[in-house]
Structure 1
Amino acid sequence: MSRTSRSVVIALLVIVVVAVLGVIYASPYIALDRLKRAADARDAQTVNQYVDFPLLRESLKDQVGQLLTRKIDIQKSGNPLAMIGAMIGAALIGPLVDSYATPDGVAAILNGIPPRGDPGEKPPVPSEANGAVVAGPGAAQTPQPQPSAPAQPAPAVASPSAPKPPPQTTAGYRSFDTFAVNYQHGTGDARYSAILRRSGLFSWKLVAVELNDG
């Protein structure tokens, strides 16, 4: 083989190696995008390819249990009825976990709506989930009546039903096999993380959620 041919082969090998490494690095971002699209569309078949539901269920059970334990500890010296409510919530961990270990629950988690550990809590239905995180600049606004004469402006009051803006998110590797997506709506708001784990060289699956109530 001539020197020119060897140079061409080496250059091609370098290109291939760089391309493969690039795909490996980008693989969790690609998997996350596909998973979110499938979850938002309630495409259960595709969601199943990107979620390890037994591991996610165990993670939710553990995290919601810890969340309720923190609530009970905070309320021990407070209102007894509030503590009883938290203990009732602890008895409802199973149904809550089952409701979030679903395509609806995955969509809620990836859209900034994690479980809070409230009794009877369920992930929002698709229209509610979309409305809770989507507030496009072109969204229609309800027309407000115009006063016939100048009036003293009333103080602005936030509507309790107004949707929150999309959460602030950061994402990155924790290790070669672990990738985390971190969510927070604003300063002082609850933070949580969705954890993906490598499944093969290029594939990733959602396996856990890390909740933080403050």
Structure 2
Amino acid sequence: MTVPTRSKGIATRPLIITLIVIAVIAVLGFAYASPYIALNNLKRAADARDVQTVNQYVDFPALRDSLKLQIAGLLTRRLDADNNSKLATIGAMIGVTLIGPLVDAYATPDGVAALLNGMPPSGNPGEHPPEAPAANNAPPAAAETPASPAAADNSNAAPAQRQTSAGYRSLNEFAVTYRRGGEAAVHYSAIFRREGLFTWKLAAINLNE
């Protein structure tokens, strides 16, 4: 006895609906996880100085613009804290000449590696990104949360004091925030922005968290 074609169609309909639901959930899950994946991929590529992969995950023009604004703001805040007007004027002139070289130094794979390892620019003359750990020499990240990048700080900081967190700030913005207490307090964030549904790129730095 053969089953009518209509009955077969009715029987397969729930299976089709189930498969569609599973596919939608999988797409949404991947879309939600995509910035975390981009962060991990960029972190590994930057530590390995894989320039081609770093270029895929960094919007360098946007990052350069952000660095210019942030470093200028950093120097302005530093000068505002100086009550000596003459020194402040000299400092402002020096600061202008510092911004370009600092931006050039940090808008590079070395700079990205430093930023993702908790080492932002401090605005010092002649500053270059501190040497971040290479991927194959990086210490184990057992103490870090899955969402945070594996980071090794400089030798003057106490690793136990540093906290790193990552998460959405909006539908199209994802931030990794670095906090370190003690005398050399550091609070800043690396900001990723969405391009399309699944693509995220490092596009800004906020040095005034």
Which TM-score tier does this pair reach, normalised by the shorter chain?
Answer: 0.7 to 0.9
Q: In structure 2, what is the Cα distance between the partners aligned to 1:176 and 1:53?
A: 22
Q: 1:191 aligns with which of 177, 187, 194?
A: 187
Q: In structure 2, what is the Cα distance between the partners aligned to 1:162 and 1:129?
A: 21
Q: Which residue of 1 aligns with 2:171?
A: 176
Q: Which amino acid aligns with 2:199?
A: S
Q: Would you say the 8 A contact 1:111–1:129 is kept in 2?
A: no
Q: Would you say the 8 A contact 1:194–1:210 is kept in 2?
A: yes
Q: Secondary structure at the match of 1:212?
A: coil
| Equivalenced residues, count | 189
TM-aligned CA distance change 1:6 to 1:110, over 3 Å: same
**2:51 corresponds to 1:57:** no
**TM-score, structure 1 as length reference:** 0.79
Q: Secondary structure at the match of 2:130?
A: coil
Q: Secondary structure at the match of 1:191?
A: strand
Q: Which residue of 2 aligns with 1:20?
A: 27
Q: Which residue of 2 aligns with 1:32?
A: 39
Q: In structure 2, what is the Cα distance between the partners aligned to 1:163 and 1:187?
A: 8
Runs of 4+ deviating beyond 3 Å? 78-87, 126-131, 133-137, 160-164
TM-aligned CA distance change 1:126 to 1:80, over 3 Å: same
Identity of aligned residues (%): 60
Q: Would you say the 8 A contact 2:117–2:132 is kept in 1?
A: no
Q: More displaced, 183-192 or 108-117?
A: 183-192
TM-aligned CA distance change 1:85 to 1:187, over 3 Å: same
Q: More displaced, 188-197 or 66-75?
A: 188-197
Q: Which residue of 2 aligns with 1:93?
A: 99
Q: In structure 1, what is the Cα distance between the partners aligned to 2:97 and 2:136?
A: 30
Q: Would you say the 8 A contact 1:180–1:195 is kept in 2?
A: yes
Deviations 1:44-101 (A, max 9, x none): 00000000111100100000001100111110x1485476346423321100100000
TM-aligned CA distance change 1:172 to 1:136, over 3 Å: closer
How far residue 185 of structure 1 moved from its aligned partner, in angstroms, is 1.5
Q: Secondary structure at the match of 2:126?
A: coil
Specify every segment of 5 or more residues in structure 1 that has no aligned partner in the other structure, as ranges. Answer: 138-159
Q: In structure 2, what is the Cα distance between the partners aligned to 1:36 and 1:128?
A: 10
**2:203 corresponds to 1:207:** yes
**2:109 corresponds to 1:107:** no
**2:76 corresponds to 1:69:** yes
Specify every segment of 5 or more residues in structure 2 that has no aligned partner in the other structure, as ranges. Answer: 1-7, 143-153
Q: Would you say the 8 A contact 1:108–1:129 is kept in 2?
A: no
Q: Would you say the 8 A contact 2:48–2:134 is kept in 1?
A: no
**2:123 corresponds to 1:84:** no
Q: In structure 1, what is the Cα distance between the partners aligned to 2:140 and 2:86?
A: 40
**TM-score, structure 2 as length reference:** 0.80
Q: In structure 2, what is the Cα distance between the partners aligned to 1:202 and 1:128?
A: 27
**2:124 corresponds to 1:118:** yes
Q: Which residue of 1 aligns with 2:14?
A: 7
Aligned Cα root-mean-square deviation (Å): 2.8
How far residue 176 of structure 1 moved from its aligned partner, in angstroms, is 1.1
Q: In structure 2, what is the Cα distance between the partners aligned to 1:72 and 1:163?
A: 25
How far residue 40 of structure 1 moved from its aligned partner, in angstroms, is 0.3
Q: 1:165 aligns with which of 159, 164, 167?
A: 159
